[in-house]
């Protein structure tokens, strides 16, 4: 995966990373993100244990300091690695984390969508609400608007280049987040994806952070 960061002046920088994820029965997913380039972030690793109801457990390994830093649930609205994605945006989507309200049907870029309002139940969330556009055919998210704690529009996330795997899993290969309040943006582009790779809980234990390659 490539992470492209742009500031309000259009200056950009690029990072290369790998992610692993594991679906967990009756709980949130587990995820591990490892940065490979550039040199100043190489070896940085982020571990996320999502939960359906309880706050997520998140850790960041900083190789320069050779230490693992736990991300407090109060700080999960902060920016992930200087990007426009917050730590909470990297959590797996779990229905139990939100309350939902159907708003309307609407056409978005030529596709018929359901428009929903989802409100985070977590009091530490950086968002008061999110407006989601789901395509009516496959229920895939096409666009999400994030509203800050003051109720103002903060960011918009757009999903593009969906591909289907194993005849059932739809995944967006481009996710573009724009911050309307700062003019900054972050685009995540997936170049390769594989399923059923034999990962287990052991691959997502906290002690793997210092050993990631």
What's the predicted TM-score (pTM) here? 0.93
Q: Is the pLDDT of residue 212 over 90?
A: no
Q: Is the pLDDT of residue 211 over 90?
A: no
DSSP 93: P
Distances (CA, A) of 92 to 21, 24, 28, 50: 9, 11, 6, 6
Q: Per residue in 39-94, pLDDT tens?
A: 999 999 999 999 988 889 999 999 988 899 999 888 888 899 999 999 999 888 89
Q: Per residue in 137-152, pLDDT tens?
A: 999 999 999 999 999 9
User: Quick check: 177 and 84 in contact, CB under 8 A?
Assistant: yes
Q: Give residue 74's pLDDT.
A: 81
User: Quick check: 19 and 11 in contact, CB under 8 A?
Assistant: no
Residues 6+ apart with CB under 8 A from 174: 158, 159, 160, 161, 187, 188, 189, 190
- pLDDT (mean) for 12-16: 97
User: Which tokens belong to 59?
Assistant: 């850790």
Q: Is the pLDDT of residue 111 over 90?
A: yes
Q: Is the pLDDT of residue 205 over 90?
A: yes
Averaged pLDDT of the chain: 94
Backbone angles phi, psi at 27, to 5 degrees: -160, 180
How would residue 112 be classed by pLDDT, with cut points 50, 70 and 90? very high
């Amino acid at each position: 995966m490539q992470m492209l960061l742009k500031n309000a002046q259009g200056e950009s920088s690029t990072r290369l990373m790998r992610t692993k994820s594991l679906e967990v029965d009756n709980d949130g997913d587990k995820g591990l993100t490892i940065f490979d380039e550039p040199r100043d972030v190489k070896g940085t690793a982020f571990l996320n244990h999502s939960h359906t109801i309880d706050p997520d457990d998140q850790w960041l390994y900083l190789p320069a300091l050779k230490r693992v830093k736990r991300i407090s649930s109060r700080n999960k609205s902060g920016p992930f690695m200087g990007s426009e994605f917050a730590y909470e945006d990297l959590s797996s989507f779990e229905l139990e984390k939100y309350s939902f309200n159907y708003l309307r049907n609407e056409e978005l870029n030529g596709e018929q969508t359901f428009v929903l309002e989802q409100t985070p139940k977590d009091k530490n969330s950086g968002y008061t609400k999110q407006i989601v556009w789901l395509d009516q055919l496959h229920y895939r998210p096409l666009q999400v608007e994030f509203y800050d704690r003051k109720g103002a529009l903060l960011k918009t996330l757009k999903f593009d280049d969906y591909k289907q795997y194993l005849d059932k899993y739809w995944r967006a290969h481009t996710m573009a987040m724009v911050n309307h309040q700062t003019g900054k943006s972050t685009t995540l582009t997936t170049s390769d994806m594989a399923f059923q790779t034999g990962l287990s809980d052991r691959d997502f234990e906290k002690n793997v952070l210092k050993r990631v390659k």
